[in-house]
Amino acid sequence: MKRIILAGIVAACIVSTSVFAADLKLGFVDMQRALNGSEAGKEAKEQLAAKVKKYQDEINVKQEDLKKLKDELEKQGMLLSDSARAAKEKDYQNKLKDFQRFTKDAQDELQGKDEEFTRKILEGMEKTIQAFGRQHGYTFIFVKNDNLLLFADEKSDLTEEVLKLFNSSRKK
């Protein structure tokens, strides 16, 4: 569907009169580069990295506890009574389930935070691009990494200009 719309826009541009073509101003922004290069993107990466480290430390402790419990169960398994062994096995299984739940919850939270940070940055970036386009008289500004832009002259790349404007607008 996007390709059809893009093809229609391109066809309309080609068919347009030379007067309109003279007024046509096109550009593109590499959103992935803008996300990674923005101060907001770098801050988000740092925050996510800190959360990942926190969770990884907790996961390592829990894994070590599980390993100790399993080793203890294997070493003492034959010496314990059936009921004591069954209780230890049940305790191990419960801790294992808790560990699996914890890791899944941690992954879900990290993914949610990443999506939240990305959405907020993209919303701000979109507003900046729209303001930039209006201010500089652009007819269209495309997103490069949407797999729709097969070729664009690098002279039409507005990423750095938009990135500077976005970063400076955050400081205000």
pLDDT digits (tens, 9 = 90+) for 50-99: 999 999 999 999 999 999 988 888 888 777 788 888 888 898 999 999 99
The answer, as to whether pTM is greater than 0.85, is no
Q: Which tokens belong to 95?
A: 């801790």
Express each pLDDT in 107-123 by its tens digit. 999 999 999 999 999 99
**Residues 153, 154, 156, 157, Cα dihedral to 10°:** 140
For residue 44, pLDDT over 90 is answered with: yes
What rounded mean pLDDT belongs to the chain?
86
Instruction: Please give the Cα distance from 37 to 23 (Å, whole number).
Output: 31
Is the pLDDT at 138 greater than 50? The verdict is: yes
* Six-digit token string for 104: 């899944």
Q: Alpha helix locations (H) across the chain?
A: 2-15, 18-23, 31-37, 39-76, 82-135, 159-171
